[in-house]
Amino acid sequence: MRILLGLLLLNTALFSAEIPAEKLNTLVGALTRLGPEKVNANPRLLEALNKVLDATKGTGRFVEIVSAFKLADRNDELLKLAIANPNNNVGVDSVKVLMSNKGTRLLKGALKRENEGEAISLIEAIGNTVSGSTIPILTVGLDDSKGRTEVRKAAVRSLAKFKQGAQALLDRAKSGEIDSTIRLTAATELNAVRWADVRAQAAELVPLPKGREGTSFAPIAELIKRSGDPKRGQSVFFRETVMCSRCHQVNGVGIDFGPALSEIGTKLSAEALYESILAPNAGILMGYESWTVETKTGDEFYGLLISDTDKTLTIKTVGGILNKVDKSAILRRSKSKLSTMPDGLQQLMSEQDLIDLVEYLKTLKKK
Ligand code: HEC
């Protein structure tokens, strides 16, 4: 009966050049019910599946289907998707599927071969999986055989996104393998991670340059009286080492993780803006509580809890990627009283940077 339904739909699929959207859903449903084994064993069903894949090219749907049917011959397409979408689920899920499709060699090869921009995008996508299993691949970027500085820095940033990766960087620092080209990037990243033990080691092994660390700023009451330059503040906001735009969007630019700040100047006073930056844990916005989910394989997803169903938890990790975790794969989950917005961000800037930054946020008003 099921097979019949499948074949019936198959005819429509094969004899029309394009599959209309509603038919596509039915077809995917039918093929999914038949399951990978039956579909892979039947040439006509496989043909239908390939039609579906052509019709969904470049979308999250495509990645889902490749994953569900355990298709090993689509790795090159997944690789392209990863490079084109480093900061959204299409690309990051592509990397995850590649990893489970024995794509490690392909990924390593691509990092060596691709042009600089593409290698950097790929490294970002890989880092956004926050998975310890990617360390050997990211290490290829870290040691880039062509010695490309930006590729190496991107690898540092990606490794610092998950604890095992951060630890791998520290181990390298211990053995003197963090050279001057990537040292500042490593210092910036590792001194700002959320794992206190990693930060403590980083302060020893790859300290932040003097002048920025430990400088004490004037009290907020004093800061609000100083004048700043909103234009400069905007560049502070988007500066890679200051990190605001890695978690916040302003008018659609930046990464969608924390609340958008496009109208924050209407919502918060200058004083409250300073407080949000200097003491993020003083008050956490409703719905933005932070969660940690550890899996039995040692991966850790840290971020916002988006949904909790019978079978899966969806965690939005810092970086804005949605991660569906099977409940059966979870070892532990816990909610934290601390904000996912790290404290100590002011250490990544000067006092004037901070004043300019707040001046900029004040200009972001409801239109
Ligand atoms: C790792 C992610 C992350 C980074 C980096 C980050 N934030 Fe946040 N931020 C959040 C989250 C999540 C919230 C909401 C939870 C809370 O209130 O703490 C937030 C809240 C805020 C708020 C309050 C928003 C409101 O509607 O009340 C402001 C203002 C803010 N951030 C500014 C900044 C600035 C400026 C920077 C850069 C110096 C920055 N953030 C860096 C994640 C981040």
- Residue 279 is predicted with a pLDDT of 84
Confidence of residue 214 (pLDDT cuts 50, 70, 90): low
The Å distance, Cα 258 to ligand 1 centre, comes to 6
Tokens, residue 131: 């998975």
Which has more pLDDT, 241 or 290?
290
Residue range(s) occupied by CATH 1.10.760.10 in the chain: 220-279+343-362
Nearest CA, atom 40, ligand 1: 244
- Residue 343 is predicted with a pLDDT of 80
Tokens, residue 246: 């890695």
Q: CB of 255 closer than 6 A to ligand 1?
A: no
pLDDT (tens digit per residue) in 66-105: 998 888 889 999 999 999 999 999 999 999 999 998 999 9
Nearest to 185 by CA among 147, 163, 159, 204: 159
- Work out the end-to-end distance of the chain between its first and last CA atoms, rounded to an integer number of angstroms: 58
- Could you name the CATH architecture of 289-339? Roll (2.30)
The Å distance, Cα 308 to ligand 1 centre, comes to 24
pLDDT (tens digit per residue) in 129-178: 999 999 999 999 999 999 999 999 999 999 999 999 999 999 999 999 99
Mean per-residue pLDDT of the chain: 90
pLDDT of 1 over the 90 cut: no
- Could you name the CATH architecture of 220-279+343-362? Orthogonal Bundle (1.10)
- Residue 85 is predicted with a pLDDT of 95
Whether residue 82 contacts residue 114, with contact meaning beta carbons closer than 8 Å, is answered with no
Return the best residue to mutate from 194, 234, 235, 247 for the ligand 1 pocket (most ligand atoms within 8 A of CB).
247
Whether residue 353 contacts residue 226, with contact meaning beta carbons closer than 8 Å, is answered with no
Give the pLDDT mean for 5-25: 63
Tokens, residue 254: 């930046």
Matching residue, tokens 């550890």:
294
pLDDT (tens digit per residue) in 229-256: 999 999 999 998 888 999 999 999 999 9
pLDDT (tens digit per residue) in 252-284: 999 999 999 999 999 999 999 998 998 888 788
Nearest CA, atom 22, ligand 1: 276
- Residue 192 is predicted with a pLDDT of 84
Give the pLDDT mean for 294-298: 91
Give the pLDDT mean for 2-11: 55
Whether residue 187 contacts residue 201, with contact meaning beta carbons closer than 8 Å, is answered with no
pLDDT (tens digit per residue) in 305-363: 999 999 999 999 988 999 999 999 999 999 988 889 988 888 889 999 999 999 999 99
Q: CB of 346 closer than 6 A to ligand 1?
A: no
Q: CB of 288 closer than 6 A to ligand 1?
A: yes
Residues near 189 by beta carbon (within 8 Å), at least 6 away in sequence: 156, 157, 160, 166, 169
C-alpha–C-alpha distance, residues 311 and 188, integer Å: 38
Q: CB of 111 closer than 6 A to ligand 1?
A: no
Residue range(s) occupied by CATH 2.30.30.100 in the chain: 289-339
pLDDT of 9 over the 70 cut: no
Tokens, residue 67: 């994953």
pLDDT of 43 over the 80 cut: yes
C-alpha–C-alpha distance, residues 219 and 358, integer Å: 14
